[in-house]
Structure 1
Amino acid sequence: MMIRVVGCWLFSFLFVFGVRAQTVFHTSDIEHFFQAFDSVQSTSNKERQIGFVQQLYIDRGGVGIQYALNNSVEGGKPASAKHWVDYIQNNKDYLIRIRPYFANLPAQMNILEPKFKYFKEQYPSFKDGNVYFVIGLGMFGGRPEGTNLFIGCEVMANDRPDWAVSIVLHEYVHTLQKKSFNALLAHCLNEGAADFVAELINQKKLIESYPNGYISFGEKNEQAVWSAFKKFIASNQKGVFYDWLYGMKGRNLNGTQMRDLGYYMGYKICKAYYEKAIDKKQAIKEIIELDVSDDEKARTFLIQSGYAAKTDRKFIQAFKFEKIVPPNSGIKLIQYGHRFENDVVVFHFDLPKGMNENEVDSVTIAGSFNAWNPKNTSHVMTKLGNGKYTFRMPVKELKEKYYEYKFVINGDNWQAVPEFAKNSQNGNLTLVLGNSNSR
């Protein structure tokens, strides 16, 4: 029996879509958020604004909202209605801009229904669950928890008409995988498996879903990516990914700074494994259920995939997993991006060499203090001339001790962290309050 619950609202779409009354897509929290958003705009009274968010968004939510409450604030603290009011006020223009992206969610859910059916046909061990679409505070995009999947739409939504399809398919694969907290190769295989299986089930090439992204770059520069990856493949440090995964900085290859190349390497290895297999359904099962709980199992899968060329096989079989120290470039590390002047943080940025100042409409600061919104008008830097920009932020506006941030040109050109920046983590610049070394 198909369960469909009809909700009538500004986008007029069905807010629960079921796959044979099993896997269910929950979208009603998006409706509730924008009802709260509109109500917040109707008054300047902060208490009334908080009440609107509480009543119209939080109180009407279920599992998805509960997850957002518990996973949207740094330090593990629970979020509150006030957090969303502050987020709305700081990101009003951005939320207005992305609002139309949700109008076609019903069409996307209708696309996903037969794809999940096809998923079950290709992978009989498929486990049904729930997919919750919510508006968080910019802290998560796609998060699997057991057989539940949570999509932070303020992070993931974009102007592609099928933006939710490929995202849900990739992230849902993670709900079916064995968790791994190992180092680089294992993580690349897990992410690459999710990419490759999502492509198979979607029956649409990833290079089409993400034009000009890491897949496109990888296909044009595969040998360069693989050669660079081999220098780090032996890393056995958990959580140390050298910008191959999960970082904004990415890797600089062939003159281009590109993120997520670890996803590409995992994708290519899994694809090679699948193409080599005679029984394709069995190959899908083995890719999804890949056990990389230790590094040697990850090595074994790489060897079995046949991805590496004959000239690399001895290297793949013989390298030792150990701590990898990136080559010392000889560059003196300095604090970059900000300084402290009494009770003010002064951010400073110089345009990259060769960039024409006349081509720059704006330079903004996006970070964990403003939900990583590069178009937040309250964090636009002041132009000083000669390619220099500055922005002053009172320390009293910063409630946490630790923040990460980046500079963004014209709203979408995220600037890589320079190699000489010592205040760097996760591919971002770091700002630490109360640290004497920062002053």
Structure 2
Amino acid sequence: MSVSWAARAEPYAAVIHTDDVDRFYRLYDATHGHPSAEQLQRDYLDVGTEGLHELARQRRVTGARIAETLAQRPALYADAKRCLAVLPRVRGRLATAIATLARLHPQSQLPPVTIAVGRGKPVGIGSPLTGVQIGLEALCATEWLNPDVEQRFVTVIAHEYAHTQQAAALVDKEHPTVLEGSLVEGAAEFVAELIAGHASYAYFPALTRGRERAIETAFAADLDKTDLSDWLYNSTPDKPADLGYWVGYRIVKAYYLHASDKRVALSDIFAMTDAHAFLEKSGWQPGIELH
């Protein structure tokens, strides 16, 4: 199943939905922070946007599961209300970033972005088949990514939006290798930087400075492993990691910088399906200097 989106009225315009967030917090406030599972299902999820329904389908979000998380972690939803204030600015900056993407890559499909409230996870998902869905409460709580709330929302959503342009054969691959997974995520980091001005993982420079060659030499030894746990999806609030994102970003950036035609290079990045061929063409090597 995939989310369908209507033809856009403006050539570089994408729809950014925040209606689900408004609906959730109306219910939350009306019930003094204690909506029932039935209320959450009937008055929030069932009447939500198509993007919310897709989030619910993919990540098993139900009224009962939101109610369970609310009971276990009430501060998560109470604290997330502070992030509502940045959403108007986030929407404006994202509209600009997506327009930039469309100008740099005119064949882009521009699916909608849905910012909603879920069960504490995921922070965000993006796919060429289903568009972008963001969990407001989860992203609001992920301060270790970037302490600047507005910047965090803009860059994380730009990262997820990049996934909507990538080849589904790679971005939705069930069991990727370290190299494949890192290139998928690294490409999204690079595109976020290209269209929004910054990558989403703001802590990478401090974490990697002076260790570039050592980190990437270790990465080169693990390229074809299917156990991703040393490189991807292994960050915690106490120990930020995910260094595969950083190495993948550097490989993709090397490819882009070495290309004479940047528009073709961006198309190549999005169309990538053969990770090893892309790596070979990038000119990347452990410790490479990128300017």
What is the TM-score when the length of structure 2 is the normalising length?
A: 0.83
Q: 1:23 to 1:223 in 2, by over 3 A?
A: same
Q: Does 1:199 align with 2:193?
A: yes
- Following TM superposition, the consecutive aligned residue runs of length 4 or more in structure 1 with deviations greater than 4 angstroms are 17-22
Consecutive unaligned residues in structure 1, runs of 5 or more = 1-16, 74-78, 251-255, 293-297, 312-439
Q: 1:249 to 1:135 in 2, by over 3 A?
A: closer
1:14-62 per-position Cα deviation (integer Å, ceiling 9, x unaligned): xxx986585211101001111121233277xxxx733432343123312
Contact 1:192 1:264 (8 Å CA) reproduced: yes
2:97 maps to amino acid: K
Q: 1:72 to 1:299 in 2, by over 3 A?
A: closer
Cα distance in structure 2, aligned partners of 1:104 and 1:98: 11
**Which one scores higher on RCO, CA 8 angstroms, separation ≥ 6?**
2
Q: Does 1:165 align with 2:147?
A: no
Query: 1:69, CA displacement in angstroms?
Result: 2.8
Match of 2:27 among 27, 31, 36: 36
> Aligned residue for 2:14?
23
Q: Does 1:82 align with 2:82?
A: no
1:376-417 per-position Cα deviation (integer Å, ceiling 9, x unaligned): xxxxxxxxxxxxxxxxxxxxxxxxxxxxxxxxxxxxxxxxxx
Give the structure with the higher percent helix: 2
What secondary structure does 2:15 align onto? strand
Contact 1:39 1:52 (8 Å CA) reproduced: no
1:137 maps to amino acid: R
2:43 maps to amino acid: L
Query: 1:282, CA displacement in angstroms?
Result: 1.1
Cα distance in structure 1, aligned partners of 2:32 and 2:71: 9
Cα distance in structure 2, aligned partners of 1:175 and 1:94: 28
Cα distance in structure 2, aligned partners of 1:309 and 1:80: 45
Cα distance in structure 1, aligned partners of 2:33 and 2:184: 46
Give the structure with the higher percent strand: 1
> Aligned residue for 1:124?
106
Q: Does 1:278 align with 2:260?
A: yes
What secondary structure does 1:136 align onto? coil
Contact 2:12 2:99 (8 Å CA) reproduced: no
1:336-372 per-position Cα deviation (integer Å, ceiling 9, x unaligned): xxxxxxxxxxxxxxxxxxxxxxxxxxxxxxxxxxxxx
Query: 1:309, CA displacement in angstroms?
Result: 6.2
Instruction: Tell me the C-alpha RMSD between the 2 structures.
Output: 2.7
> Aligned residue for 2:133?
150
Instruction: Give the length in aligned residue pairs.
Output: 269
> Aligned residue for 2:89?
107
Q: 1:300 to 1:81 in 2, by over 3 A?
A: closer
1:169-214 per-position Cα deviation (integer Å, ceiling 9, x unaligned): 1111111111322311111111111111110111x243xx544x23
Consecutive unaligned residues in structure 2, runs of 5 or more = 1-7
Cα distance in structure 2, aligned partners of 1:257 and 1:69: 29
Q: Does 1:218 align with 2:176?
A: no
Cα distance in structure 1, aligned partners of 2:71 and 2:240: 32
Contact 1:128 1:147 (8 Å CA) reproduced: no
Point out the structure with max Rg over C-alpha. Answer: 1
Q: 1:310 to 1:303 in 2, by over 3 A?
A: farther
What secondary structure does 1:138 align onto? coil
Once the two structures are superposed, the pairs formed by residues 256-405 of structure 1 within 5 Å of their partners are: 258-292=240-274, 298-308=275-285
Query: 1:231, CA displacement in angstroms?
Result: 2.1
**Taking every aligned residue pair, what percent have the same amino acid on both sides?**
28
